[in-house]
């Protein structure tokens, strides 16, 4: 674990960390959650709950010793991330049908604000445990695929997670591993190599999973990194990186039969859809989205209710208003996070789901102009993280699973806390009045 003294405002003696139970507990949780998210079923939600309880205890202790001064930026992030439970409540109240399960995953977004406030009051050395955690988590994903696979087949997954969510999460872990190279200081050569291998491994696992949403995210993530972080490279180095990425992508396509087939399938699905065929992965998604937009237009303000398409499409199919295959897919999910929230919760749901992406992007974007190198790098990592989830959510309901919501909420809070900079007890003590 990172326990050395780090220069600057966030410096912390190693002896203090060793003697501070809360700090050591936070370090273990922050290091452990990327490692276990794809390896152990239920680990992500358990670690998230433990982190929330520990954060509450720290904030309560701080309030008793002098108070906790919450800044405007912290309030803004917390309120924005907490809009989704409010949107669910408004829709429930309008339809007079309160559904407790609907608040399960959404509550984690609300708690992300609490984690953000608490994480900003931790020593930087504690939060930096995420850096090796992301790399180790990518290797753990490989172990899960090899030793604890799910259903037999060519697509990579694990015993408790489908190929789509598995591949997307592995890609994000690998991306964050690469983004945290030389994060707080210049990494040793073997650490750089480990993180670089983890980055490549994340891409490999995404390809093996057959998750095309992850493949769409790859050029988006590379383009964002190239624009935001490659400025410190020379023109020659940038050209080499660009050519290398193109070459690796081309070689992967040439030598991976599954990748070729999945790409060809998309083209065939699009051609078939133009000819009126909807019983394909692409065709069904288009029809689901079309049905969702129509339903939202007729239920503009509060949507059709938190249970959304899962409850509406079956009766529509029985009355001949929707094809049976569309109704069958809708019982699983909407295959688009933004449309799912909008159709179910109306205009408040649209605002809320956009806020889930925009709030951390706002915090991280502000850090890009900071003089603090770590804040800038954390800002880049946070932007890549949010962009990845936003792209994933275009073709699948990522936040339909509570573990994915917990992973997003905790990682977002952590990266935003590093990007926003420290909030010390001395700052809290300087409250006006």
| Structure tokens that stand for 48 in this block | 């998230």
Rg of the chain in Å (alpha carbons): 22
What is the SS3 string spanning the chain? CCCCCCCCCCCCCHHHHHHCHHHHHHHHHHHHHHHHCCCCCCHHHHHHHHHHHHHHHHHHHHHHHCCCCCCHHHHHHHHHHCHHHHHHHHHHHHHCCCCCCHHHHHHHHHHHHHHHHHHCCCCHHHHCCHHHHHHHHHHHHHHHHHHCCCCCCCCCCECCECHHHHHHHHHHHHHHHHHCCCCCCCCCHHHHHHHHHHHHHHHHHHHHHCCHHHHHHHHHHHHHHHHHCHHHCCHHHHHHHHHHHHHHHHHHHHHCHHHHHHHHHHHHHHHHHHCCCCCCHHHHHHHHHHHHHHHHHHCCCCCCCCCCHHHHHHHHHHCCCCCHHHHHHHHHCCCCHHHHHHHHHCHHHHHHHHHHHHHHHHHHHHHCCCCCHHHHHHHHHHHHHHHHHHHHCCCCCHHHCHHHHHHHHHHHHHHHHHHHCCCCHHHHHCCCC
User: Considering only 304-308, 380-384, 425-429, which range has the smallest mean pLDDT?
Assistant: 425-429
Instruction: Decide if 409 is inside a domain.
Output: yes
What is the SS3 string spanning 139-203? HHHHHHHHHCCCCCCCCCCECCECHHHHHHHHHHHHHHHHHCCCCCCCCCHHHHHHHHHHHHHHH
Domain count, the chain: 1
Segment 209-238, tens digit of pLDDT: 888 888 889 999 998 998 887 777 777 777
Residue 331, pLDDT > 60, answer: no
Instruction: Decide if 403 is inside a domain.
Output: yes
**pLDDT the model gives residue 428:** 46
Confidence at 199, pLDDT banded by 50, 70, 90: very high
Segment 78-108, tens digit of pLDDT: 999 999 999 999 998 998 878 788 888 899 9
* Site of tokens 């809708």: 330
Instruction: Decide if 5 is inside a domain.
Output: no
Instruction: Decide if 271 is inside a domain.
Output: no
Q: What are phi and psi of 406, to 5 degrees?
A: -65, -45
Q: What residue numbers bound the domain in which 33 lies?
A: 14-260+341-429
Residue 432 vs residue 292, higher pLDDT: 292
Instruction: Decide if 173 is inside a domain.
Output: yes
Confidence at 430, pLDDT banded by 50, 70, 90: very low
Most confident of 137-141, 231-235, 398-402: 137-141
**pLDDT the model gives residue 419:** 95
**pLDDT the model gives residue 52:** 96
Q: Which residues of 226-252 are buried (b: 16+ CB within 10 A; e: fewer)?
A: bebbeeeeeeeeeeeeeeebeeebeee
Averaged pLDDT for residues 62-72: 75
| Structure tokens that stand for 420 in this block | 């926003």
Q: From the centroid of its chain, how far is CA 240?
A: 29
**pLDDT the model gives residue 66:** 67
Instruction: Decide if 231 is inside a domain.
Output: yes
Segment 143-168, tens digit of pLDDT: 999 999 887 878 888 999 999 999 99
Averaged pLDDT for residues 107-115: 95
* Site of tokens 């023109």: 235
Residue 15, pLDDT > 60, answer: no
Instruction: Decide if 202 is inside a domain.
Output: yes
Instruction: Decide if 8 is inside a domain.
Output: no
Q: Which residues of 32-60 are buried (b: 16+ CB within 10 A; e: fewer)?
A: bbbbbbbbbeebbbebbebbbebbeebbe
Q: Are 134 and 177 in contact (CB under 8 A)?
A: yes
**Greatest extent of the chain over all pairs of C-alpha atoms, in Å:** 70
The number of CA neighbours under 13 Å toward the Cβ of 175 is 31
Segment 357-395, tens digit of pLDDT: 999 999 999 999 888 989 999 999 999 999 999 999 998
């Amino acid at each position: 674990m990172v326990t050395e003294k780090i220069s600057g405002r966030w410096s912390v003696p190693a002896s203090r960390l060793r003697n501070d139970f809360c700090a050591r507990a936070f370090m273990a949780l922050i290091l452990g959650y990327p490692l276990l998210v794809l390896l152990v079923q239920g680990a992500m939600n358990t670690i998230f709950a433990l982190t929330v309880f520990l954060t509450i205890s720290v904030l309560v202790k701080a309030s008793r010793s002098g108070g906790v001064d919450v800044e405007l930026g912290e309030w803004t992030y917390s309120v924005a991330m907490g809009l989704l439970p409010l949107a669910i409540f408004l829709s429930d109240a309008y339809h007079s049908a309160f559904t407790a399960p609907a608040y399960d995953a959404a509550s984690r977004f609300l708690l992300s604000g609490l984690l953000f406030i608490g994480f900003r009051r931790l020593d930087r050395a504690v939060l930096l445990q995420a850096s090796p955690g992301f790399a180790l988590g990518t290797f753990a994903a490989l172990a899960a695929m090899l030793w604890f696979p799910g259903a037999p087949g060519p697509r990579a997954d694990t015993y408790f997670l489908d190929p789509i969510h598995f591949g997307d999460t592995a890609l994000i872990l690998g991306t964050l591993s690469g983004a945290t190279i030389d994060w707080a200081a210049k990494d040793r050569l073997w650490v750089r190599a480990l993180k670089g291998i983890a980055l490549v491994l994340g891409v490999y696992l995404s390809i093996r999973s057959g998750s095309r949403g992850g493949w769409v995210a790859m050029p988006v993530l590379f383009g964002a990194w190239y624009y935001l972080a490659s400025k410190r490279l020379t023109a020659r180095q940038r050209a080499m990186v660009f050519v290398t990425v193109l070459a690796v992508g081309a070689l992967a396509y040439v030598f991976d039969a599954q990748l070729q087939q999945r790409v060809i399938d998309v083209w065939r699905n699009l051609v078939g859809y133009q000819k009126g065929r909807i019983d394909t992965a692409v065709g069904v998604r288009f029809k689901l989205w079309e049905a969702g937009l129509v339903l939202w237009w007729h239920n503009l303000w509060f949507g059709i209710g938190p249970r959304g398409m899962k409850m509406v499409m079956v009766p529509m199919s029985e009355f001949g208003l929707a094809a049976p295959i569309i109704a069958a897919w809708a019982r699983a999910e909407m295959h688009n996070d933004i449309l799912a929230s909008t159709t179910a919760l109306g205009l408040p749901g649209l605002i809320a789901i956009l806020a889930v992406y925009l709030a951390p992007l706002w915090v991280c974007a502000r850090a890009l102009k900071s003089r603090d190198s770590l804040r800038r790098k954390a800002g880049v990592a946070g932007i890549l993280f949010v962009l990845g989830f936003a792209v994933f959510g275009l073709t699948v309901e990522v936040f339909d699973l509570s573990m994915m919501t917990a992973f997003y909420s905790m990682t977002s809070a952590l990266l935003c806390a590093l990007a926003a900079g420290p909030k010390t007890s001395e700052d809290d003590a300087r409250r006006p009045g």
